[in-house]
């Protein structure tokens, strides 16, 4: 399948970067890392706003940078959402939305204005001027403006970072809806793990101008060698399909690779996808088979794939759901003593006792 | 008397139009260029701010005289020598008022910053397109200030006009020269009318500029 192929090497001031990654032409790929690691620079290289001294960029077969070839930003079919909305102050909301729409090439991007206006809830704002909008409203307009320019790729540079908590909560559902209804591949720069867990399918983990790891989000957060699993609030992300709802106990059953999880509440329609989050410290272990007398609803058969000490007295036990090789990742955080008492080893079957499962939002 | 008022308005209008056409690209370049010698060009543009008008007039007189290469070229272009003509006055006024028009426009362009133009580029606008549809409208307060200052400054000029224009009624005898003339010939009443008129005009210009500027900034803020 054709994809986004990016490789950039260069310097910006005293900062040097050397980055290479691929991303598929669908879904959300997060460029994740601490502030100052070069995420924004890479995003600007993708847009052509910054020209890396050396690099290659091909998107869906079109080469935008290679050797001396460099396509100017206005000739690239990208949509860019900056950290600050950066609306044109002299144009109304409608004028801002139409700016890119009028200039796009007709053949690409069938995204229709009414659809985008509806998706982002902009109907009531069209005649307003940017100065009169709230921060969240402005960013919604900026996202709509980028979408209407008919992008083949959407580049988002921490679009929520400059917003307060309430505005963030207001925009996140819109971003999720976009991913579901418009099939535009998105590169999403962020240093906020909660945002990434909620929105991204894949992740490129950056560290001081280099790529530390890249791959599906669910694999990276459960990788024993990466820092995520070692944090106090380590968690795994599991995508599953809603299978059934029990109205009497108000519990939803979600089918995930290798097992079924029970989640409290009615979390969606049967057949839809949901993303679940399980915190490592909410997962305990015991020997198979699953114990009979327990209040824990989610007692899941797993296979242990790795075990690593965390700090002085705890262990991370890395598991795959079910007994096959493709089960969802799970991390259990137990004491070192418990691990020794259990006498389990890598490769063994065990039962994960999951105390709580939450949606990523 | 009214002849010099009309001539002054005509000179100031023509000069302002030329100032905007010439000054805007210069201001854009000064605001955006990263070349090391841009400040040298900026200084040349700013020279009339400190140079005595008579000095500027003196050099212009030499440069525009039919004996100089530039002057003879200009003479054959206009069909007459530039010194002591309306066209000569326009050339002098444009150079003399250039910093007053360029500085506010340059400041306005610099205040816009890189971001709106980057946004325009990501929305498929070519650099020229972005200049016309984003930079110019956003710089409106600066363009207005530049135009008004250029116009007002041209209305009030004296030294340069005296050096290269002289005192030809209907051709080069502008307001400030007329006032000087009336005082010299002890025609106090006429001098009073023109001087008081200039006073009121200057007051209104600055007041109008402040009000319009405030209103525009509120709209763009």
Do residue A73 and residue B123 have CB atoms under 8 angstroms apart? no
CA dist A252 and A239 (Å) reads: 14
pLDDT per residue over B159-203, tens digit each? Answer: 898 888 888 888 888 989 999 999 999 999 999 999 999 899 889
Q: Is the pLDDT of residue A312 over 80?
A: yes
CA dist B12 and B4 (Å) reads: 12
Confidence at residue B208, expressed as pLDDT on a 0 to 100 scale: 87
The residue to which tokens 């007039």 are assigned: B57
User: With an 8 Å Cβ cutoff, is B127 touching chain A?
Assistant: yes
Do residue B122 and residue A74 have CB atoms under 8 angstroms apart? yes
Q: Are A205 and A143 in contact (CB under 8 A)?
A: no
Q: Is the pLDDT of residue A165 over 90?
A: no
Sort out which chain B residues have CB atoms less than 8 A from A104's CB and list them. 124
* Residue of chain B minimizing CA distance to A153: B122
Half-sphere CA count of B193, side-chain side, radius 13 A = 9
CA dist B9 and B16 (Å) reads: 10
* Residue of chain A minimizing CA distance to B123: A100
Residues of chain B with pLDDT under 70: 220-221
Do residue B123 and residue A131 have CB atoms under 8 angstroms apart? no
**Does the reported pTM lie above 0.95?**
no
pLDDT per residue over A268-291, tens digit each? Answer: 888 888 889 999 989 989 887 877
Q: Which residues of A touch B (CB under 8 A)?
A: 47-49, 72-75, 78-80, 82, 84, 86, 88-90, 99-100, 103-105, 129, 131, 145-146, 149
ipTM rounded to 2 decimals = 0.84
Do residue B116 and residue A74 have CB atoms under 8 angstroms apart? no
Phi and psi for A252 in degrees, rounded to 5?
Answer: -110, 135
Calculate how close chain A gets to B134, using CA atoms only, in Å.
7
Q: Which range, of A2-16, A171-185, A229-243, averages the lowest pLDDT?
A: A171-185
Sort out which chain B residues have CB atoms less than 8 A from A100's CB and list them. 122-124
Confidence at residue A106, expressed as pLDDT on a 0 to 100 scale: 61
Mean pLDDT for A213-232 is 90
**% of chain A beyond a pLDDT of 90:** 49
User: With an 8 Å Cβ cutoff, is B221 touching chain A?
Assistant: yes
The Cβ of residue B189 has, within 10 Å, a number of other Cβ atoms equal to 9
Confidence at residue B30, expressed as pLDDT on a 0 to 100 scale: 95
Tell me the DSSP string of A8-51.
EEEEETTEEEEEEEEEESSSEEEEE-STTSSHHHHHHHHHTSS-
CA dist A314 and A230 (Å) reads: 10
Average pLDDT of chain A is 89
Q: Is the pLDDT of residue A29 over 90?
A: yes
Confidence at residue A176, expressed as pLDDT on a 0 to 100 scale: 83
Calculate how close chain B gets to A242, using CA atoms only, in Å.
39
Confidence at residue B131, expressed as pLDDT on a 0 to 100 scale: 95
Q: Helix or strand or coil: residue A289?
A: coil
Q: Which residues contact A22 (CB under 8 A, 6 or more apart)?
A: A3, A4, A5, A6, A214
Confidence at residue A46, expressed as pLDDT on a 0 to 100 scale: 95
Q: Are A352 and A283 in contact (CB under 8 A)?
A: yes
Confidence at residue A111, expressed as pLDDT on a 0 to 100 scale: 55
Q: Helix or strand or coil: residue B192?
A: helix
- Superfamily of chain region B2-220: MetI-like (1.10.3720.10)
Task: Indicate the domain borders of chain B.
Answer: 2-220
Q: Which of A80, A88, A105 sits opposite B116 (nearest CB)?
A: A88
Confidence at residue A180, expressed as pLDDT on a 0 to 100 scale: 77
- What is the pLDDT confidence band of residue A168, given thresholds at 50, 70 and 90? confident
User: With an 8 Å Cβ cutoff, is B121 touching chain A?
Assistant: yes
Confidence at residue A108, expressed as pLDDT on a 0 to 100 scale: 47
pLDDT per residue over A70-115, tens digit each? Answer: 999 999 999 999 999 899 999 999 999 999 888 887 644 445 788 8
Q: Which two tokens stand for residue A293?
A: 């007398």
pLDDT per residue over A137-162, tens digit each? Answer: 999 999 999 999 889 899 999 998 88
């Amino acid at each position: 399948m054709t994809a986004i192929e990016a490789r950039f090497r260069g310097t910006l001031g005293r900062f040097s970067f050397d980055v290479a990654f691929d991303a598929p032409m669908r879904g959300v790929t997060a460029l994740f890392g601490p502030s100052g690691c070069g995420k924004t620079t890479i995003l600007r290289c993708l847009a052509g706003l910054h020209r890396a001294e050396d690099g290659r960029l091909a998107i869906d077969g079109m080469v935008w940078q290679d050797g001396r070839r460099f396509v100017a930003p206005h000739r690239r079919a990208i949509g860019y959402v900056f950290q600050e909305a950066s609306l044109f102050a002299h144009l109304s909301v409608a004028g801002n939305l139409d700016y890119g729409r009028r200039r796009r090439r007709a053949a690409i991007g069938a995204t229709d204005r009414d659809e985008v206006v509806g998706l982002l809830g902009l109907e009531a704002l069209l005649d307003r001027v940017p100065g009169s909008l709230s921060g969240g409203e402005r960013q919604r307009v900026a996202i709509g403006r980028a979408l209407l320019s008919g992008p083949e790729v959407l580049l988002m540079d921490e679009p929520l970072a400059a917003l307060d908590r309430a505005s963030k909560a207001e925009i996140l559902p819109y971003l999720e809806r976009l991913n579901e209804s418009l099939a535009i591949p998105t590169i999403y720069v962020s240093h906020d793990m909660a945002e990434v867990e909620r929105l991204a399918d894949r992740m490129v983990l950056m560290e001081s101008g280099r790529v530390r790891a890249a791959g599906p989000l669910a694999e990276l957060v459960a990788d024993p060698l990466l820092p995520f699993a070692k944090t106090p609030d380590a968690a795994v992300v599991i995508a599953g399909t809603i299978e059934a709802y029990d109205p009497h106990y108000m519990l939803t059953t979600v089918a995930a690779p290798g097992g079924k999880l029970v989640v409290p509440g009615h979390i969606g329609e049967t057949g839809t996808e949901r993303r679940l989050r399980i915190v490592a410290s909410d997962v305990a272990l015991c020997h198979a088979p699953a114990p009979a007398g327990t209040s824990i609803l989610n007692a899941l058969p797993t296979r242990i794939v790795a075990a690593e000490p965390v700090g002085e007295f705890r262990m991370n036990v890395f598991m795959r759901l079910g007994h096959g090789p493709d089960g969802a990742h799970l991390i259990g955080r137990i004491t070192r003593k418990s691990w020794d008492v259990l006498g389990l080893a890598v490769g063994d079957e065990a039962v994960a006792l999951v105390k709580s499962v939450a949606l990523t939002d | 008397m009214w002849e010099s008022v009309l001539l002054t308005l005509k000179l100031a209008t023509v000069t302002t139009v030329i100032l905007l056409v010439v000054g805007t690209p210069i201001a854009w370049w000064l605001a955006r260029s990263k070349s090391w010698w841009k400040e040298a060009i900026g200084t040349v543009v700013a020279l009339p701010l400190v140079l005595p008008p008579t000095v500027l007039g003196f050099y212009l007189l030499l440069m525009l005289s039919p004996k100089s290469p530039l002057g003879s070229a200009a003479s054959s272009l206009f069909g007459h020598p530039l010194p002591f003509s309306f066209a000569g006055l326009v050339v002098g006024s444009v150079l003399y008022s250039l910093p007053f028009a360029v500085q506010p426009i340059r400041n306005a362009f610099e205040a816009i910053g890189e971001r709106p133009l980057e946004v325009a580029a990501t929305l498929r606008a070519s650099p020229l397109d972005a200049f016309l549809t984003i930079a110019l409208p956003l710089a409106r307060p600066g363009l207005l200030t530049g135009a008004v200052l250029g116009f007002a400054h041209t209305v009030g000029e004296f030294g340069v006009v005296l050096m290269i224009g002289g005192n030809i009624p209907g051709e080069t005898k502008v307001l400030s020269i007329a006032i000087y003339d009336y005082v010299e010939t002890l025609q106090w009443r006429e001098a009073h009318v023109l001087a008081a008129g200039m006073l009121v005009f200057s007051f209104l210009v600055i007041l109008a500029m402040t009000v319009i500027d405030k209103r525009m900034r509120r709209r763009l803020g």
